[in-house]
Amino acid sequence: MRALIVGGGIGGLAAAIGLTRAGWQVTVHERGTDLARSGTGLGIWPEAVAALDRLGIGDELRKRAQRQPPGSLRRPDGRVIATVDTKRLERRAGEPPYVIARAALLDLLYGALADGTVRFGTEVTEVTAGSWQGFDLVVGADGAGSRVRESLFGAEHRLRDTGFTAWRGVVTLDVDRGAETWGIGEKFGYLPLGDGRTNFYAVLPTPARPRPMEEELATLRSRFGHWHNPIPRVLDRIEPDTLLRHGLHYLHPPLPSYVSGNVVLLGDAAHAMTPDLGQGACQSLIDGLVLGESLAATTDVHSGLRGYDRARRRPSQRIAAAARQLGRVSVASRALVLRDAAVRAAVAFDSVRSRGT
């Protein structure tokens, strides 16, 4: 059985590993000329670590990644809204969350595949059910702006703009733990990556027009430079040419299916979400695993794809909806006292539930 995977990002490479382990002959078409090197740090939560274990590369992740330390949600003056207890998560899940650079995760996934599996510099612009001859399966893993998704479901299911933009990057600075700080319609987060590096991101309403990065950085320093430490130190270390900027989007309405004929969607192509829960990469890894296992469980491709859709569509869409809701809450500009109280209550409830289990 032969599979074509459109897109060589996290989801596409995970799917390639899963399908290869299931006995498929896999070809990945990636329009880039090499693995993506841009991007910052990614949180890998226990469920995604378990997926990597089942893909045979969990131990390698543990070698390359750093355990994510406890963190907190804060106000700009440093007051703690709630604490993110990663130790408690580890006790409950049996595995800590990790943080790893996006490029390092891609290297890990790529290294698990045979030479020649990924064909760089090859672009697939359109795929419809049954139209790609010579392959028993086509996997759309071509990201949030997926052309495969549009070919299958049209423009109705498209990316929606949140009205906010994120700036992110990595600086040379050693911090002992991470935090996300919520202001009035704006937020700033940072997380240690290890080796004296810190991942950061800032979120503000989208400017009326694009500006040179020097002006963008000046705006970030003006808006966040008086917030609690170490945010001013992070801002001082940013170089304009290393700053990344991207609008925040989500897929809406949710897809009625991740499958059409012998074509299947996964990762951001299936459920593009805002980054507020840190689940985008995790869900892509789980998609890749479940797709391979679903097809390994049956000799009928269509039956296997239906199993994948049943297993992944509703859970991933629930997480996407929760991420969008948290994103709205985190950049609220009114009723901040009620917002903070609600977050504290939710964290406290989770703590009690954890002790009960």
Confidence of residue 313 (pLDDT cuts 50, 70, 90): very high
The pLDDT value given to residue 338: 84
What would the pLDDT profile of 186-210 be if each residue is shown by its tens digit? 999 999 998 899 999 999 999 988 8
Amino acid at 109: L
How would you list the strands of the sheet with 178-182, edge to edge? 80-84, 71-74, 178-182, 187-194, 197-205, 158-172, 244-252
Which residue, 248, 244, 291, 240, is CA-closest to 270?
Answer: 291
| Residue 357 pLDDT exceeds 50 | no
Contact 213, 240 (CB under 8 A): yes
Cα–Cα distances (Å) from 356 to 181, 255, 349, 351, 353, in that order, read 30, 36, 11, 9, 5
The pLDDT value given to residue 134: 84
CA distance 9 to 110: 9
| Residue 66 pLDDT exceeds 90 | yes
The pLDDT value given to residue 345: 75
Cα–Cα distances (Å) from 48 to 42, 222, 225, in that order, read 12, 37, 35
Contact 144, 268 (CB under 8 A): yes
Mean pLDDT value across residues 257-271: 97
The pLDDT value given to residue 320: 97
The pLDDT value given to residue 355: 43
Contact 73, 343 (CB under 8 A): yes
CA distance 238 to 222: 14
What would the pLDDT profile of 2-28 be if each residue is shown by its tens digit? 999 999 999 999 999 999 999 999 999
Query: 340 by DSSP, 3-state: which?
Result: helix
CA distance 153 to 64: 38
The pLDDT value given to residue 333: 87
Mean pLDDT value across residues 80-84: 91
Contact 282, 267 (CB under 8 A): no
Length of the chain: 357
Select from 3.40.109.10, 3.40.50.740, 3.50.50.60, 3.40.50.300 the CATH code of 2-67+101-160+251-332.
3.50.50.60
Confidence of residue 272 (pLDDT cuts 50, 70, 90): very high
Q: What is the CA radius of gyration of the chain?
A: 20
Amino acid at 190: Y
Half-sphere exposure of 162 (CA within 13 A, CB side): 30
Contact 134, 2 (CB under 8 A): yes
| Residue 39 pLDDT exceeds 80 | no
What would the pLDDT profile of 95-119 be if each residue is shown by its tens digit? 999 999 999 999 999 999 999 999 9
The pLDDT value given to residue 88: 86
CA distance 285 to 275: 15
The pLDDT value given to residue 38: 80
Q: Which of 119-133, 236-250, 280-294, 303-317 has the lowest mean pLDDT?
A: 119-133
What would the pLDDT profile of 122-167 be if each residue is shown by its tens digit? 988 777 655 567 899 999 999 999 999 999 999 999 999 999 999 9
The pLDDT value given to residue 131: 57
- Looking at every residue in the chain, the average pLDDT score rounds to 93
Counting runs of H as helices and runs of E as strands, what totals does the chain give? 12, 16
Residues 6+ positions from 78 with CB-CB distance below 8 Å: 228, 229
CA distance 322 to 280: 12
| Residue 58 pLDDT exceeds 50 | yes
Confidence of residue 354 (pLDDT cuts 50, 70, 90): very low
Domain chopping of the chain, boundaries: 2-67+101-160+251-332
| Residue 353 pLDDT exceeds 50 | no
| pTM of the entire predicted model | 0.94
